[in-house]
Chain A
Amino acid sequence: MLPFFVILAIAFGRVDPIFLTPSPVYNPLRWDAGPFGDVLSQIFTSGSVYQSDFLHTLAFVFAATALCLAIGYPVAYFIARHAGRFRTLFLVAFIAPFWISYMMRMLAWINLLQPNGYVNRILGGLGLANTQAPIQWLNGKPLTVILGLTYGYVPYMILPLFGVLDRIPSSTLEAARDLGAGQVTTFLRVTLPLSGQGILAGIVIVSLPMFGDYFTQTLLAGTRNTAMIGNLIVSSIQSSLVQTGASLVLILLALLILPMLYYLRATAKATELVAR
């Protein structure tokens, strides 16, 4: 009985938003696609609020994911190959953000990024910023949102990358070197292709939650010109535009279904390998 209850509950939880409009229609034959189509056409209307929010989201997620990869790869590579006896220490240090509350980590940055906070003071001390007119980091700067997202999600990128890089046997790399490949060639033609799965998994794991993120934006910017899909969903629901909110959730899920299925398939394959 127990699993059935949970399957039902999960199915309900996930399927609900489609039918649950202020007056829910549970019979699929009597569904009205009208309101959903309206939301969809809004997104394709250039200059609409919906479209600009979708474009912000795509741009922010793309930039933050790229940054996560650029930061995460060298760090994961280092821990897998060079950390030596400090390996455990570094592992603990990079797992730490997982149990430090996301809100606490954002709060920490809000303190640092205040007009008279440490970031501006350090920049001013280095002569990189004008101390008379401090940089307003928290007044709707897209850069702050992108860096905030990167800071929030980069540990999730490192984990799968470390997983694949750690599994590349050093004998393979030595073989490449013995056969005359230089360091750069070894990296480009052996390490990088072998870590392809990890890079893909990392990109998926990092970008999926970013697409639904709304709190980072509210905390670090909070202005209309940096709003993301998540903000649109939450504000629709809170202002009783439940149907719009539900349609947006569906559109978001439709957008993400392919990477989600890819990730599930990859995980299932990995589990099969372990079970064998």
Chain B
Amino acid sequence: MRRGVLAWLSNPWARARFLWAVAIAYVAWTLLPVVVAVLFSFNGTRSLTSWQGFSTQWYAGNESSVWQDPTLRSALVQSLKLAGLTVLIAVPFGVGFSLALDRWRGRASGTTNFLMLFSFITPEVAIGVALFLFFVQLASGVGTGFTAQVLGLSMYMLAYPVIIVRARLLSIGTEYEEAAMDLGASPTQALRRVLLPLLFPAIFASVAIVFAASIDNFVISQQLSRDASTQTIPILIYSAARRGPLPSLNALASLTLLASTALIVVAAVVYRRFTRAERRAA
């Protein structure tokens, strides 16, 4: 410890102490407001600005708690439904898509890759408006609402599984599949029994990321939302935040935070466990 302090003091990079201060201030600045917001979801009274004792009434118990207020509860249910269905559509399509891209190569593959990245960097409001007009004008049979939200979000989220699974496919290479087929497996068998298990960590990571990103998505879900019945948590926070909200809104936001944190941690652990053997071999 003593040596650590001495080494730190005699650091040839003299600005290090200044940088330490900047970095710690940065972490405090990014995380403290969120910590305070979570704390206030446990406040004893309706106030969001002064702390008056601990209570869980804003989660359940109070008539305007997350559990009992119909608007908050419906937003929670709606967000979970939307994120769940988006995962169910975007991940299988994305996996299939990346397999196809990996096999094709050539021009078409390059173009689609380009388009995928394009949807990442286009300002989301442009995509949201485009999807809105698409569902209202061209696919007017669908219109706005839950179906449009699921379809639009799945299209937007497709890029995540494609990028993650493609990276994994590149690192796996074609040897295992070829070996399986040399040993008598049909292409389908090779895919199902060799390639898919090898892709599992990437697929699992995609599920976690798409779910977390869908639950937090605001612009596209808002543009495609029809009325109060298709309000998700971010839309609700957006419309209620400036109208004298109660701590139950913080409670709702904290629940989302808990869900996405848990999911990301599980995904990271699973990904590491499944690729550990490979990293050891390499």
Residues on A lying within 8 angstroms of B by beta carbon are 2-3, 6-7, 9-14, 16-17, 20, 22, 24, 71, 74-75, 77-79, 81-83, 90, 93-94, 96-97, 99-112, 114, 116-118, 138, 151, 154-155, 177, 183, 204-205, 208-209, 211-215, 218-219, 222, 230, 233-234, 237, 242, 245-246, 249, 252-253, 256, 260, 263-264, 267-268, 275
Query: Which of chain A's residues have a CB closer than 8 A to the CB of B204?
Result: none
Which residue of the partner chain A has the closest CB to B134?
A16
Q: Are B123 and A20 closer than 8 Å at their CB atoms? A: no
In the complex the two chains form, is B27's CB within 8 Å of A90's CB? Answer: yes
Chain A residues closer than 8 Å to B131, beta-carbon distance: 13
Closest CB in chain A relative to B5 CB, distance in Å: 13
Question: Looking at the complex, which of B53-61, B62-70, B113-121, B192-200 is the stretch in contact with chain A?
Answer: B113-121
Q: How far is the CB of B101 from chain A (nearest CB, A)?
A: 7
Interfacial chain B residues near A71, Cβ < 8 Å: 26
Q: Contacting B118 at CB < 8 Å: which of A16, A138, A211, A260?
A: A260
Q: B16 in the interface, Cβ–Cβ < 8 Å?
A: yes
Interface of B is mostly: helix
Residues of A contacting B108 in the complex (Cβ-Cβ under 8 angstroms): 3
In the complex, A154 Cα to B31 Cα: how many Å? 13
**A91 to B108 Cα, complex, angstroms:** 37
- Could you tell me if B260 and A99 are in contact, using CB atoms closer than 8 angstroms? yes
Q: Does the CB pair A81–B30 fall under 8 Å?
A: no
Q: List residues of chain B with CB within 8 A of the CB of A16.
A: 130, 133-134, 137-138
Question: Assuming A104-B37, A264-B121, is B22 touching A75 (CB within 8 A)?
Answer: yes
Q: Is the CB of B134 within 8 A of A13?
A: yes
Q: B237-262 vs A: 1/0 string, CB under 8 Å?
A: 11001100100011001101100110
Q: How many residues of B are counted as interface, with CB atoms below 8 angstroms from the partner's CB atoms? A: 77
CB of A273, distance to nearest CB on chain B (Å)? 13
Give me the interface of B with A, judged by CB distance under 8 Å. 11-16, 19-20, 22-23, 26-27, 29-31, 33-34, 36-37, 40, 48-50, 93, 96-97, 100-101, 104, 108, 111-112, 114-115, 117-119, 121-127, 129-134, 137-138, 155, 158, 170, 212, 215-216, 218-219, 223, 233-234, 237-238, 241-242, 245, 249-250, 253-254, 256-257, 260-261, 264
CB distance from B234 to the nearest CB of A (A): 4
Q: Which residue in B22, B104, B121, B215 is a CB contact (below 8 Å) of A263?
A: B121
A78 touches B23 (CB 8 A): yes
Q: Can you spell out 7 A-B residue pairs with CB atoms less than 8 angstroms apart? A: A24-B137, A81-B19, A99-B212, A104-B237, A204-B121, A214-B125, A242-B133
Known contacts: A78-B23, A103-B238, A249-B130. The answer to whether A108 contacts B33 by CB under 8 A is: yes
Query: In the complex the two chains form, is B36's CB within 8 Å of A112's CB?
Result: yes
Tell me the nearest residue of chain A to B256, going by C-beta: A101
Asked if A209 contacts B119 (CB within 8 A), the reply is no
> Complex formed: what's the CA distance from A100 to B34 in Å?
9
Q: Is the CB of B242 within 8 A of A110?
A: yes
Cα–Cα, bound, A104→B232 (Å)? 13
User: Given the known A-B contacts A103-B218, A107-B241, A109-B33, are A82 and B27 also in contact in the complex, defined by CB atoms under 8 Å?
Assistant: no
Return B179 CB to nearest CB of chain A, in Å. 23
Q: Which 8 A-B pairs have the closest CB atoms?
A: A212-B123, A108-B37, A108-B33, A212-B125, A101-B216, A78-B19, A104-B253, A103-B237
